[in-house]
Amino acid sequence: MTYFLQQLINGLQLGFVYALIALGYTMVYGIVRLINFAHGDVFMIGAYLGFFAMANWHLPFPVAIVVAMVGCAALGIFIERIAYKPLRNAPRISALITAMGVSLFIENFTNLNFMFGPAPRAYPRPFAIRTFDLGGVSISNIQIIVFTVSILLMVALSLFVSRTKIGRAMRAVSLDKDTARLMGVNVDTMISVTFGIGSALAGAGGVLYGIAYPQIQPLMGIMPGLKAFVAAVLGGIGIIPGAMLGAVIMGVVETFTSAYVSSTLRDAVAFGILILVLLVRPTGLLGKSLSEKV
Amino acid sequence: MNRRGFRFDLGWRALVLAVVGFILIQVLMWLRVINPYWQQIGCLAGITAISALGLNLVYGYTGQFSLGHAAFYGIGAYGAALLTRTLGGNIWTMMLGILVGAVLAGLVAFAIGLPILRLRSDYLAIATLGFGIIMKVLFDNSDAVFPMMGGAAGMTGIARLTNFTWVFVVALGAVMVLRNLVFSSVGRALISVREDELAAEAVGINTTKYKTLGFVVGCMYAGVAGALYAHLYAYLNPANFDFLKSIDVLLVVVIGGLGSISGTLVAAIGWTFLLEGLRVALPASVQDWRMVIYPLVMVIFMLVRPGGIFAGTEFSFLKPREYRRKR
């Protein structure tokens, strides 16, 4: 039982990091119907920005998170402007292929020696690890930080989307672009804002991932990115609470697979879930099913 | 007038061209103008072309976006390699291996295709991507069931049977089958599914049947290519069949032009030789840049020429007479 609870906590830690990435996927998909494959690489850049902020510029941990978030937001908006915006009226598959191209470009470019280089780097620990014992189950201060930061960010995002004027405009654009435009919403700005916010969350996720699993390298974004996308689909793509729910489920399932079955099979289980969900309930756990328009 | 059923011919112009090209290359090989290294690259180009022709059928003609093509390539490769390692490597087992690779890939494609081809565009993409990753994990852990497959360490001891003649003959056959398939009533049904599934269904086309057909045949092409690949390098590693490999083939199809056999052939050969040429031409210090150039080409193509080089057209020698423009 303690082992189970321990794995549950580890799984939640992974799930919360996935949630921060999945939110960006789901928001972008909700607004432009594009699987932004480059999102996992934005997450990687976030981890590196946090690394440089702490290791090279000696900034404190909270500032490092802010640096990563701002840097990633700028990167996300930049990617949208140069690669996706010209394709907004092209077939969706063209945009999807472009997204994969952007993703590969970021991975291979940062893999070059004058950039980050292919060698993995040890992530700086901003503070000493302390573990607290809760009746046999241990929880570390790092896990507490991961939980707190991600919950804070998710609450902030929910409030932003539901309570502010920009949030309302974002929701309007994701429902119907043309109508939103007629109501005076600047659609391009809203799309940029969405990319910015999604990427900022991924940036924060990158730093949290870095301190939780302290090794980073330029290809680290591929798998978490794909799994976060699976999580977004699992919860119902385009639905913000769905992404959080799906991500937590993914993290927990993955950790349990590693703990009880085999760690080499955990990717197969994650994607097996994806295919099952797509077949049984393509709109995800929280999604509403839409009939096809003719 | 359009063709009705499936016929099996290639037109004399294409055949003459193929035979002359083949003899020319054989002579150059005999004169040692083409050294064994470039021969191997030529084989790789042909194998890439076969696999890409399959993906072009799945995506370019039938419109079903697949990101798991490398998984079927891997199934064909491992299937054929297991066969030739068990029965010993000679011409006959090689033929049987290619057949087994094709059938295995086709069977798996049928089993997975029936449920997932109901999904549309990017959902299908992500499901096939998931399938590809699952297959890679299975290849990685294959040694638990088949110790011969070697798991993540890779499979060794495969006979080196693939040579240029094999690749050329199989590729010619692949072009012939695909060309006759797409220029037939079946091909028009596939294209109608790509253009508008609902409209196709409305005019009485069994879309499920044609989607499955396109997918299964396309994946069999990948299986055949995999079988040839296994016996070219005599070594298989699961890392060669991952997500990036699927994107590699997709890139060839997209650059060549969706729904164009000529485009896929030109792009497969051009791309393989370009990558290898850069490897030879570039100094060692900038080798890594090849991997940066390649996604850039992909993005620029999508932004500037989304139809690819050929944009749905063909060399006229590949078209049946009925389809050539009248003077």
Residues B276-312 pLDDT 10s: 887 887 777 777 787 888 788 888 888 888 777 887 7
B292 interaction partners in chain A (CB closer than 8 Å): 105, 108-109, 112
Residue A98 to residue B299, Cβ atoms within 8 A: yes
For the stretch B195-248, pLDDT in tens is: 888 899 899 888 889 999 999 999 999 999 999 999 998 889 998 898 888 888
CB pairs under 8 A between A and B: 114
Q: Which residues pair with B236 in a beta bridge?
A: B155
Name the residue among A268, A272, A274 with its Cβ closest to that of B126.
A274
| CA atoms of B174 and B196, how far apart (whole Å) | 27
Element (H, E) at A122: strand A121-122
Q: How many CB atoms lie within 10 A of CB A257?
A: 20
pLDDT for A3 equals 87
Residue A26 pLDDT greater than 70, yes or no:
yes
Q: What is the mean pLDDT of residues A183-204?
A: 93
Reported ipTM exceeds the 0.85 cut: no
In eight-state DSSP terms, residue A121 is E
Residue A275 to residue B127, Cβ atoms within 8 A: yes
Complete DSSP assignment for B25-36: HHHHHHTTSS-H
Q: Which residues pair with A216 in a beta bridge?
A: A121
Nearest Cα residue in chain B from A227: B130
Residue B247 to residue A100, Cβ atoms within 8 A: yes
B247 interaction partners in chain A (CB closer than 8 Å): 100, 104
For the stretch B167-177, pLDDT in tens is: 999 999 999 88
Q: B21 CB near a chain A CB, below 8 Å? A: no
User: Among A59, A24, A6, A54, which Cα is nearest to A231's?
Assistant: A24
Amino acid at B152: A
Question: How far is the CA of B227 from the CAs of A3, A168, B27, B148, B239, in angstroms?
Answer: 46, 55, 27, 16, 16
Q: A144 or B33: which carries more pLDDT confidence?
A: A144
pLDDT for B1 equals 47
Q: Taking chain A, what is the end-to-end CA distance rounded to the nearest angstrom?
A: 53
Q: In angstroms, what is the C-alpha Rg of chain B?
A: 19
Are A225 and A43 contacting, i.e. CB atoms less than 8 angstroms apart?
yes
Complete DSSP assignment for A253-267: HHHHIIIII-GGGHH
Residue A294 pLDDT greater than 60, yes or no:
no
> If DSSP codes are grouped into helix, strand and coil, which group holds residue A48?
helix
Which tokens go with A11?
A: 């799984």
| CA atoms of B227 and B234, how far apart (whole Å) | 11
Complete DSSP assignment for B142-180: GGGT-GGG-GGG-B--------HHHHHHHHHHHHHHHHH
Nearest Cα residue in chain A from B63: A93
The percentage of residues in chain B with a pLDDT greater than 70, rounded to a whole number, is 95
Q: Dihedrals φ, ψ of A216, to 5°? A: -130, 150
pLDDT for A77 equals 95
| CA atoms of A191 and B141, how far apart (whole Å) | 43
Q: Which one of A25, A94, A108, A109 makes the best mutation probe of the B interface by having the most chain B beta carbons within 10 Å?
A: A108
Name the residue among B119, B250, B296 with its Cβ closest to that of A278.
B119
Question: How far is the CA of B142 from the CAs of A21, A182, A272, B253, in angstroms?
Answer: 32, 57, 17, 30
Residue B133 to residue A108, Cβ atoms within 8 A: no
Q: A242 or B291: which carries more pLDDT confidence?
A: A242
pLDDT for B327 equals 46
Residue A103 to residue B295, Cβ atoms within 8 A: yes
Amino acid at A56: N
**A111: distance to nearest CA of chain B, Å?**
8
Name the residue among A86, A102, A112 with its Cβ closest to that of B288.
A112
Residue A230 pLDDT greater than 70, yes or no:
yes
Are B65 and A93 contacting, i.e. CB atoms less than 8 angstroms apart?
yes
Q: A104 CB near a chain B CB, below 8 Å? A: yes
Residue B122 to residue A35, Cβ atoms within 8 A: yes
Q: Taking chain B, what is the end-to-end CA distance rounded to the nearest angstrom?
A: 15
Residue A265 to residue B294, Cβ atoms within 8 A: no
| CA atoms of B238 and B231, how far apart (whole Å) | 15
Element (H, E) at B273: helix B261-281
Residue B126 to residue A229, Cβ atoms within 8 A: yes
| CA atoms of B240 and B132, how far apart (whole Å) | 12
Which tokens go with A282?
A: 């393509």
pLDDT for B4 equals 62
Complete DSSP assignment for B124-146: HHHHHHHHHHHHHHHHHTGGGT-
Q: B288 CB near a chain A CB, below 8 Å? A: yes
Q: What is the mean pLDDT of residues A16-43?
A: 91
SS3 content of chain B, % helix, strand, coil (to 5): 75, 0, 25
User: Among A207, A275, A183, which Cα is nearest to A46's?
Assistant: A207
Residue B295 to residue A294, Cβ atoms within 8 A: no
Name the residue among A90, A95, A274 with its Cβ closest to that of B130.
A274
Q: B289 CB near a chain A CB, below 8 Å? A: yes
User: Among B152, B5, B158, which Cα is nearest to B77's?
Assistant: B158
A230 interaction partners in chain B (CB closer than 8 Å): 126, 130
Residue A102 to residue B299, Cβ atoms within 8 A: yes
Name the residue among B130, B140, B302 with its Cβ closest to that of A275.
B130
Centroid of chain to Cα B155 = 22
Q: What is the mean pLDDT of residues B14-35?
A: 84
Question: How far is the CA of A109 from the CAs of A102, A105, B148, B326, in angstroms?
Answer: 10, 6, 37, 50
B13-32 burial, b at 16+ Cβ within 10 Å, e below that, comes to ebeeebeeeeeebeeebeee
User: Among A21, A26, A28, which Cα is nearest to A45's?
Assistant: A21
Residue B296 to residue A101, Cβ atoms within 8 A: yes
| CA atoms of B228 and B77, how far apart (whole Å) | 7
Which tokens go with A290?
A: 């839409």
| CA atoms of B70 and B200, how far apart (whole Å) | 29
B115 interaction partners in chain A (CB closer than 8 Å): 279
Which tokens go with B205?
A: 């086309």
Please report where in the chains the tokens 């960006």 appear, as a residue. Answer: A24
Nearest Cα residue in chain A from B253: A97
B92-129 burial, b at 16+ Cβ within 10 Å, e below that, comes to ebbebbbbbbbebbbbbbeebbeebbebebbbbbbbbb
pLDDT for B80 equals 93
pTM, two decimals, is 0.87
**B196: distance to nearest CA of chain A, Å?**
11
Q: In angstroms, what is the C-alpha Rg of chain A?
A: 19
Are A230 and A37 contacting, i.e. CB atoms less than 8 angstroms apart?
no
| CA atoms of A44 and A184, how far apart (whole Å) | 36
| CA atoms of A139 and A135, how far apart (whole Å) | 11
Please report the residues numbered 25 through 44 in chain A whose beta carbons come closer than 8 angstroms to any beta carbon of chain B: 33, 35
For the stretch A49-77, pLDDT in tens is: 999 999 999 999 999 999 999 999 999 99
Element (H, E) at A134: strand A131-134
Average pLDDT over chain B, rounded to whole?
86
pLDDT for A233 equals 86
Residue B10 pLDDT greater than 50, yes or no:
yes
Q: Dihedrals φ, ψ of B195, to 5°? A: -70, -45
Q: Alpha-carbon dihedral of residues B190, B196, B199, B203, nearest 10 degrees?
A: -10
In eight-state DSSP terms, residue A82 is I
| CA atoms of A171 and A196, how far apart (whole Å) | 15
B119 interaction partners in chain A (CB closer than 8 Å): 278-279, 282
Residue B122 to residue A92, Cβ atoms within 8 A: yes
B259 interaction partners in chain A (CB closer than 8 Å): none
Residue B131 to residue A268, Cβ atoms within 8 A: no
> If DSSP codes are grouped into helix, strand and coil, which group holds residue A137?
strand
